[in-house]
Amino acid sequence: MVDLLSGLLPAEIWRLVVIVLQILAIVLPLLVAVAYLTYAERKVIGAIQLRKGPNVVGPLGLLQPLADGAKLFLKETILPTGANKVVFLVAPMLTFILALIAWAVIPFDEGWVLADINVGVLYLFAISSLGVYGIIMSGWASNSKYAFLGGLRSAAQMVSYEVSMGLVMISVLISAGSLNLSDIVLRQKETIWYVIPHFPMFIIYVVSILAETNRAPFDLPESESELVAGYNVEYSAMTFALFFLGEYANMILMSGICVVLFLGGWLAVPGLEWLPIPGVIWFALKICAILFIFLWVRATFPRYRYDQLMRLGWKIFLPFSLLWLVLTSGVLVAFGWLPGQG
């Protein structure tokens, strides 16, 4: 069948078609995952607060995300007067697109990756550093004080936490000796999951991704008690939905990166390799575990004050991750464990 089709089309076009199909194979499950992450969030927080959560639409409320989606799709998109229309409409699209394109380099299983590039870690870092634009642009273009304050807060917050995230990533990648995500996972197969030697970095990374995705307890850009809804206060219908989808896709993405860097990506839990579970399922299970932390934290912790947030990022995480980086390189050199030196 495949040979027949490839005979009909020129090779370049055929390659293009395959890539488009691969992209769809990543994006469609991702969108379903996003929809059911919102459902899981409401169910988990409901359980923590001794409520039922959504339980009306469909069995166990399972169709609730679809109903929410349909509602957002059918509502009217409102453009505020005085808004910069182009930037106002580009911002949510940018947020959503950035949350999707980062998945190109995530390895789902050995060889299951859309673009197996040598600078995968840097690519992810570049894309996640762009995420701030969607928010700051929406905050500015809305021509509203609350949205603007939310946008500014988020810009400062995301830039601050990226610094320590970058240092954490460097600690991991000098242990692995590669910027390629598949190589990092394979290296963990040879040695040990990096969550064990780099446990303090794992903690810092998990806290940083909470800040980076603007989730509780660091959801200051949209803190509803002071800024109404922050940067997205003027958005409605599909434009709002794109922000929402982008935020949740980013949560899944950041959990995915965390799993690849620290929890051995698609590898089975040590001792359970005999189970007939494919790597991609392990990968999904580990992502779910990290996502559960996101939801758990949201239901448990009160919101940080802004100066405390900045203090945590700059005065605690940054020096500590820098120290850990020096320590890691020192240990690797002292014991001759540097990858590539045998």
Partner 1 sequence: MIAALIFYMFAALTVGSAVMVISARNPVNSVLFLILCFFNAAGLFLLLGAEFLAMVLVVVYVGAVAVLFLFVVMMLDINFLKLREGFLQYLPTGAVVGLVLLVELATLFGGWAFAPDVEALVRSPMPPVAEVSNTEALGRLLYTTYAYLFQASGLVLLVAMVGTILLTLRRREGVRKQVIADQVARTAKNSVEIVKVPTGGGI
Q: Using CB under 8 A as the criterion, which residues of the chain lie in contact with partner 1 when the complex forms?
A: 12, 84, 87, 117-119, 122-123, 125-126, 129-130, 132-133, 136-137, 140, 148, 151-152, 155-156, 159, 162, 166, 179, 307-308, 311
Here the tokens at position 312 are 């945590």
- Say if residues 252 and 172 touch (Cβ distance below 8 Å): no
Please state, in angstroms and rounded to a whole number, the distance separating the CA atoms of residues 190 and 175: 12
Q: Cβ of residue 43: shortest distance to partner 1, in angstroms?
A: 35
d(CA 188, CA 177): 11
| Cα pseudo-dihedral 60, 65, 71, 77, rounded to 10 | 160
Q: Based on CB atoms, which residue is closest to partner 1, 39 or 125?
A: 125
**Which residue number, 17 or 285, has a Cβ lying nearer to partner 1?**
17
| Tokens linked to 170 | 């460097």
For partner 1, which is the closer residue by CB, 61 or 131?
131
Q: Which is nearer to partner 1, 35 or 117 (CB)?
A: 117
Cα–Cα dist 245/34, whole Å: 7
User: Residue 123 Cβ, how far from partner 1 at the closest point, in Å?
Assistant: 6
As measured in angstroms, the least distance from the Cβ of 296 to partner 1 is: 25
Q: Closest Cα partner for 263 from 286, 230, 289, 240? A: 286
* Alpha carbons 56 and 185: distance in angstroms, whole number: 42
Distance CA 209, CA 205 (A): 6
Q: How far is the CB of 106 from partner 1 (least distance, A)?
A: 16
Q: Which is nearer to partner 1, 46 or 217 (CB)?
A: 217
If the CB atoms of residues 109 and 116 are measured against partner 1, the closer one turns out to be 116
Region of residue 82 (phi > 0: left; psi between -120 and 50: alpha; otherwise: beta): left
How far apart are the two ends of the chain, measured CA to CA in Å? 45
